[in-house]
Structure 1
Amino acid sequence: MDILIADTDPARAETLAARLAVQAGAGQAGVGRIRIAPPLENLALIVAAERPDIVIVDMARADRDSLEHLRSIAAHQMPVMLFIDEDDPAFMEEAISAGVVSYHVNAAGITDIKPILRSAIALYRHASARDVRLAAAEAELSDRRLIDGAKRLLMRRDNMSEPAAHRFLQRRAMERQMRLADVARALLAAPSAGESGDYA
């Protein structure tokens, strides 16, 4: 497990890194490394280059700039864990909306951080897999709507039956080596879509 710690307070970052090194057994096979991001460097660029398994952001108190900071990290498709010293329910909601998958108050009071890290990564992977499935389902539905719309156009315009319209689209897709949905999109977008003839 490769961990990147981001904290504007170097002493606090070193303390957290030392705790993680002890609790997670840093240096052992399969564990990876723990790195502290230099506070004056662009964290989003470091995340993009390093691609750690998780980013831990530790801060004393919430502010609006912090939200943008968190959002820029999460945009790199990276699980983000947030430790904060002062509880702020409103900020917690905003942080989660910004991409934080695990939010905790007072890191020093947590006895064992390792299970929290594992659960944060697992939650992130689960959410990512769900998002991929949802995007695929939405894309499939969008394709189906395009194909159905193109078939309705052919049925209305050229007096085709539904099976004939479907075969027409399939034939065009094979001839042009295009996806069926792309053929349907081209047919519906053609300026002459309302006229009779050989299109797509």
Structure 2
Amino acid sequence: MELTQQISDISAYLAADDVIDHEHPCVRKTAERLRSETIDAYTYASAAFGFVRDSIEHSADSGDLRVTWRASDVLGARTGVCYAKAHALAALLRAAGIPAGLCYQRLADDDGTNPSVHGLIALKLPGRERWARQDARGNKPGVDARFSLDEERLAWVVRPEFNEMDYPVLYAAPHPAILGALRTAADRPELWRTLPTEL
């Protein structure tokens, strides 16, 4: 999938903000630990992906009703939905100087009903021209997402016959509609009711 940068300046995909707060001590500490266990940008990115995918529970899978959205809170609470986990992974990558952005898919249930927007990230490693999408949502039966630069290994492949799609924009910050729902939801059931069904 060819992504279009929302902002042409690559530094926007390295910036810290209120959501991707990679200057927060919790993010920095996690990044430093991962850096100490890896040898280069590739192995760091792969380790950060594995950490977020496997060590932070997807709250819908675990039954956790909390809504986290700030990267440091996601890492601290060890829970979040796909968007929150994407924010945490982007923060860990940016903390190591690896450009990372946010991207989205429009998905549906197996019968094509109940459309929803799914969040993931894309990163750009040194020496590579293209952005590579990664989905740290968390694996479960039927979902086997893996870190890969050459062939995408996402949680889901879109099905155009069900009006599913990959949105082509690579955002430097979360989409406002997604972030608004995350910030205002009192719990996950409310979040499910207020998230947009398309962007």
> TM-score normalised by the shorter chain: which range applies?
under 0.3
Higher-Rg member (1/2): 1
Q: TM-score, normalised by structure 2?
A: 0.23
